[in-house]
């Protein structure tokens, strides 16, 4: 862990919910993915200072790629479909430091 980083990885899940009927991450299973990720990271003993922090976020403005999560400090943006995708991100990126290319949100995908 660098002296400027409290966590090795800080993960933010978009849990935004739009009331006007527009598509949003909450409609696409983001809460379930967040809950799974948080509990699995904790079960693996990865959570806490020097490790991994899983956080909720409001709109991350990448709606067209949703549901989305972002891993810092690398700023790697992911989309996911189910718990298997979340497990792959945990095992590959958070444990081994290898981003999962197939789940990355393309750089030009925005709102």
Task: Write the pLDDT tens digit of every residue in 37-62.
Answer: 999 999 999 999 999 999 999 999 99
Residue 13 scores a pLDDT above 90? yes
Backbone angles phi, psi at 39, to 5 degrees: -70, -35
Q: Is the pLDDT of residue 21 over 80?
A: no
Q: Is the pLDDT of residue 5 over 80?
A: no
The CATH code of the domain at 9-103 is 3.40.30.10
Average pLDDT over residues 21-44: 93
Which residues lie closer than 8 Å to 84 by C-beta, 6 or more apart?
none
Could you give the CA distance from residue 54 to residue 38 in angstroms, rounded to a whole number? Answer: 6
């Amino acid at each position: 862990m660098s002296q400027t980083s409290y966590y090795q990885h800080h993960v933010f899940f978009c849990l935004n919910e739009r009331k006007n009927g527009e598509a949003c991450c909450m409609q696409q299973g983001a809460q379930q993915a967040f809950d799974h990720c948080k509990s699995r990271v904790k079960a693996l003993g990865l959570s806490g200072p020097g490790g991994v922090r899983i956080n909720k976020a409001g709109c991350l403005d990448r709606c067209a790629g949703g549901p989305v999560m972002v891993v810092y400090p690398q700023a790697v943006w992911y989309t996911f479909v189910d718990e298997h995708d979340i497990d792959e991100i945990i095992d590959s990126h958070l444990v081994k430091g290898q981003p999962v290319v197939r789940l990355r949100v393309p750089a030009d995908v925005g709102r």
